[in-house]
Amino acid sequence: MRPGPSPPPDDAPRLLDALRQQVRYRHYSIRTEEAYVHWVRAFVRFHGLRHPAELAQPEVEAFLTWLATERQVAAATHKQALSALLFLYQQVLHQPVAWMDDIGRPRTEKRLPVVLSVDEVARLLAALDAQPDGTLHALLGRLLYGTGMRLLEGLRLRVKDIEFERRAIIVREGKGSHDRVVMLPAALEGPLRDTLSRHHAAWRDDRARGLAGVHLPHALARKYPRAAESWAWFWVFPQAQPAVDPRTGVLRRHHGLEHAFQRAFKRALSAAGILKPATPHTLRHSFATHLLQSGYDIRTVQELLGHADVSTTMIYTHVLRLGGGAVRSPLDHLAEPHAATPASVRSAAAPAGTAPPSATPAQAAGPASYADPGDWLPFPPRRAREPAPCYRIRSPATPSCSAAATSVS
């Protein structure tokens, strides 16, 4: 009988603390840390507070099966839980997980993004303006739609990240810890200057009260001790009141919360009468789709969105192909007056050399002078197939290029 795992020493950190240490050691985002802690805690509670070192493949499969069957979570949520448990056993408990390969993965689901039309975006932003405290929310909504930023990227903007002279905005530490440059819409230059002027008073009040400066990433607070208290590092969208930092316990002013804008966005969506299941991230999808509709190339849109692979940006081309006008439905042809009579019947009834019914003078000269065959045909004529290419290397049985062209023609 195989011996069980040895219990952890008394001075070892608690499981969730060790998990947080490993996540931060690899410089994962705070969102990844919160997700992994959530799923490990749920896994432990599902098995009656037993330590994961005492569990193995059957218990992991039972937990994932419960998520898929009882909770009916989406495939992406299922994968996230599996990734958290895989990280727990490999990086925290340092146990071999060869049995993880035997656990079934959920099938990848392809979903098209929700996209708002230009009119719907205008109605939504107007509804944000009409809210009692919608000044900042409306500005943030216009910024997300005008630049394609994610919600958290917009909330984390610093004063130094907005370059009015270049009309550019620097997005720092976006998804995947990558920086990128996006345009500063000319329509937002004035509102942003006014907002920064109002927030400068809040910054001066924090300095007068002796509050700690804003949060700085990594070890910049030690490298530049006074940078956190400078105006350049202050938030573009700060909270109305200071709050306690959950990691350090220091009272300081944080950037605006995602939930506040999400609630305002939901109210504006209802007020605008938009029935689509839109979220603040829909503004990013609408930004990319409307740029492609305006004729910008896919590489430009990829750079603005910060996608590492162009295949991620290609999802918006699928949205365009399904839009109105991209492909004409056969049902629309049935609604035309000429569609009641098939083309074969009309050609048999018309004398040779005469123009089709309701032909224009330009069409009466003959089939070669028809400006638009679709004006009288139920469907546009199919283009003749080009001859097959002739290759240089050929066997004795292969005809020559001229003979092949003659046979095709």
* Active site residues per annotation: 150, 175, 281, 284, 307, 316
3-state SS of 138-181? Answer: HHHHHHHHHHCCCHHHHHCCEHHHEECCCCEEEECCCCCCCCEE
Closest CA to 269 of 118, 127, 132, 116: 127
Q: Find tokens 């990128």 and name the residue.
A: 180
Distance CA 48, CA 102 (A): 24
Crossing angle for the helix pair 189-209 and 134-147, nearest 10 degrees?
130
Residue 11 CB partners (closer than 8 Å, separation 6+): none
- Distance of alpha carbon 323 from its chain centroid, rounded? 19
Q: Find tokens 């994968």 and name the residue.
A: 79
Return the number of other C-beta atoms located less than 10 Å from residue 266's C-beta.
13
Phi first, then psi: give them for residue 110, nearest 5 degrees.
Answer: -100, 120
CB distance 187 to 142 below 8 Å: yes
Tokens at 349, concatenated = 């009834």
The b-or-e profile of 12-39 (16+ CB within 10 A means b, else e) is: eeebeebbbebbeeeebeeebeebbbeb
CA distances from 116 to 27, 120, 131 (A): 35, 6, 20
Residue 171 in 3-state DSSP?
strand
CB distance 229 to 207 below 8 Å: yes
CB distance 315 to 113 below 8 Å: yes
Sheet hosting strand 180-183, strand order edge to edge: 162-163, 168-171, 180-183
DSSP secondary structure code for residue 356 in this structure = P
- Distance of alpha carbon 121 from its chain centroid, rounded? 17
Distance CA 382, CA 380 (A): 6
